[in-house]
Structure 1
Amino acid sequence: MDEMTRVRELRAEAPRPGRDRLVGGRERLLRAARGGRTRRLRADWRLAAIGAAAAIAAAAVIVPQVTDGRGETALPGAGHGYTVELGSAKGWLNDAADIVAAGPAVTAHDGQWIHTETVETNTTDDAPDPQTDERLIRYADPAMENGKAGDDHSPREHYAFLKSLPDDPARVRAKARAFFHATDPGESRTEHEYRALTAVISRSYVYDPEDLAKVYRALATVPGVRVADVVDAAGRDAIAVYREGAGFRDETLLDPDTRLYRGFRSVSRDGEVEISGARLTTEVVDGEDDRPQPPVGASPGT
């Protein structure tokens, strides 16, 4: 049983915070980001129970969410964020590998595209309001392959990289270093491995689940990797995976249920969430002009 499960079970009877307080900020974020078109995301708010038990289970640090100056809850991603420190990531990532390995494969073929939709907040920007972005990425893009784009790769190259991985975590780490080569002379080997492995997780749009699970097992062996319970830029609960940096930390956010990539946060030493991004959709589509369509009868965002 991992630390997160123990935290939730210790205070399973704790009342949930009122939806009018928590959901309001999330809905305002999505409404502003989408120009009034709000998608309904999973309303699984377990923050009260987690925060109350964290001091017992995991030496937690909770940073309260700021307000907007009018007594209302600030938009998620603005100012200080919610964080419960859970400690070492080794056991959690190994469990995550098992969950990912048991999940479905995502496949694509030459001629298809990857459609993504994201939302981001940036307190260091001149326009800190939530910004949405839609992208279509060619699955097989020769201009992004065989080193033509430097330290970047097409989804087809990512898929081939995953298929080439051995079972040994140390060899996976070495292959990840070569795949995402060093760009900073001052970067240590451990920093390089962490950056490369988290980049693979965030950019593997198409994968065989057992291959992707090998990346999680390799990441579990990198020294100093930790996990925390946080909220992403869309107001959803997420698990942050990170290593402490020089005055800041870059977090890779994973879904607490599927353990797949969900977004990122850049957090200053004083706990300020300076940049926060959340991936809202990822779909394989057949043409450049295609957009994923919801099932018949489904509400937006289903």
Structure 2
Amino acid sequence: MDEMTAVRELRAEAPTAHRADLLGGRDRLLREARKGSRARRLRSDWRLASLGAAVAITVAALVVPQVVGGGDAAPGARPGYTIELGSAKELLNEAADTIAAAPAVTARDGQWVYTRTVETNVTDDERPGPYTDERWTRYADPAMEDGKAGDDHSPREQYAFLKSLPDDPARVRAKARAFFSATHSSESRTEHEYRALTAVISRSYVYDPEGLAKVYRALATIPGVRAADVQDAAGRDAIALYLEGDGPREEVLLDPATWLYRGHRYLDDGELIISGARLDTRVVDGKGERR
């Protein structure tokens, strides 16, 4: 039996997707295949091979379109889709190589980290979204260091954590468990390590590239970490990471070009409940500044 026949039989009960719903994913795959650099070719080959092996493509309008003045789609308004890519191991190791070669992002005491985000939440009756938020976080904040704020580490403390990481992925996983304590007695060691490592990735506003690359390599060794092509709350392409399992699915989104954190999604029974995207992050000299 060929793969396309297997797909048709597997999804026989699903409604036929409209051609317009499929164009975005098709165009993205073609665009990836045409890119000329070695790193892009490797990722393109890996994605296409994974699609053939997994034989799992799901296309769905996950977010209701909303139009603002001038006819422009608001953040989070574009139709969403999920293209399952299978195991994230190879992808994460490629991401680690890219990040390790990138320049460091540093800050000094007295500076702040500015972030701007957008989020949709269908359970929020007052602000279902999309709505934007701006925050300023003090880079060096003693009140958020040395365990005073639990797992809510300051950017300075997290930068020091990345600089301290060993090469061995198993030891990195152990240090991450200690850096972010278990949330509940029912949380397995695998779940704890996955949550801790992805938390480090999501909070790396300021980072040492070698240290952050070690986090990605450690994450690649955790069994059950899978990847998917999706769109974030701003309608941009993203790579979703998630831990395979039953129940709701919590995804961490990565920028497919830089592999840095881009946002998050929360799905329950296949329905997109929460979708958030980081639109901007930068080091600034004072609270209230954006540049």
Which TM-score tier does this pair reach, normalised by the shorter chain? 0.7 to 0.9
Aligned partners of 1:114 and 1:139 also within 8 Å: yes
Say if 1:114 and 1:76 are closer, same or farther in 2 by CA, change over 3 A: closer
Instruction: State the partner residue of 2:282.
Output: 283
User: For residue 47 of structure 1, what is the aligned residue in structure 2?
Assistant: 25
What's the TM-score, normalizing by structure 2? 0.79
Could you list the per-position Cα deviations for residues 110-156 of structure 1 after superposition, in whole angstroms to 9, with x for gaps in the alignment?
A: 00000000000001110312110000000000111111111210000
What CA deviation, in whole Å up to 9, does each residue of 1:198-238 have, x standing for no partner? Answer: 00000011111111100000000001000000000000000
Relative to structure 2, which stretch is displaced further, 79-88 or 248-257?
Answer: 79-88
The amino acid that maps onto 1:226 is: R
When residues 73 and 289 of structure 1 are mapped into structure 2, their CA distance, relative to the original with a 3 A threshold, is closer
2: distance between equivalents of 1:105 and 1:235? 28
**Match of residue 10 from structure 1:** none
1:82-231, aligned counterparts within 5 Å? Answer: 82-126=81-125, 127-231=127-231
Q: Is the 8 A contact 1:230 1:238 kept in 2?
A: yes
Asked whether the equivalents of residues 63 and 77 of structure 2 are also in contact (C-alpha less than 8 Å), the reply is no
Equivalent residue in structure 2 for 1:65, among 61, 68, 76: 61
Other structure's SS at 1:251 match: strand
Do the aligned partners of residues 89 and 69 (structure 1) sit closer, same or farther apart at CA in structure 2, a change above 3 Å counting? Answer: closer
Distance in 2 separating the partners of 1:56 and 1:130: 35
Question: Residue 42 of structure 2 corresponds to which residue in structure 1?
Answer: none
Are the counterparts in 1 of residues 64 and 78 from structure 2 also a CA contact under 8 Å?
no
CA contact (8 A) 1:68 1:74 kept: no
1:254 aligns with 2:265: no
Q: In the TM superposition, what is the alpha-carbon distance from 1:76 to its structure 2 partner? A: 6.5
How far did residue 245 of structure 1 move?
4.0
The AA in structure 2 aligned to 1:146 is D
Cα distance, 1:62 vs. partner? 1.2
Quote the Cα distance in structure 1 between the aligned partners of 2:109 and 2:236: 33
| TM-superposed deviation, 1:60 | 2.3
Gaps of 5+ in 2: 1-18, 31-47
Aligned residues: 250
Aligned equivalents of 1:193, 1:106: Cα separation in 2: 25
CA gap of 1:192–1:79, structure 2 versus 1, over 3 A, is farther
RMSD between aligned alpha carbons?
2.8
Bigger share in helix: 2
- Residue type of the alignment partner of 2:56: A
Q: CA 1:260/1:193 → structure 2, altered by over 3 Å: closer, same or farther?
A: same
Q: Summarize the Cα distance change of 1:164–1:150 in structure 2 as closer, same or farther, 3 Å threshold.
A: same
Amino acid aligned to 1:195: R
- In the alignment, residue 61 of structure 1 is paired with which amino acid? I
Deviations 1:221-276 (A, max 9, x none): 0010000000000000000011134321110000001100000000113x211000
**1:158, 1:128 → 2: CA distance?**
32
What code does the residue aligned with 1:216 have?
Y
User: Is 1:235 matched up with 2:235?
Assistant: yes
| Paired AA for residue 255 in structure 2 | D
Is this contact kept in 1: 2:64–2:79, CA < 8 A? no
Q: What is the letter of the counterpart of residue 102 of structure 2?
A: G
Counterparts of 2:29 and 2:248, CA distance in 1 = 23
* CA distance in structure 1 between the partners assigned to 2:149 and 2:237 by the alignment: 34
* SS of match in other structure, 1:215: helix
Which of 49, 56, 72 is matched with 2:52 structurally? 56
Any conservation in 1 of the 2:241–2:251 contact (CA below 8 Å)?
yes
Q: Would you say the 8 A contact 1:119–1:277 is kept in 2?
A: yes
Three-state SS of the structure 2 residue aligned to 1:288 is coil
- Gap regions ≥5 residues in structure 1: 1-16, 23-44, 293-302
Q: Paired residue for 2:36?
A: none
Please give the secondary structure, in 1, of the residue aligned with 2:246: coil
Change in 2 beyond 3 A, CA 1:67/1:239: closer
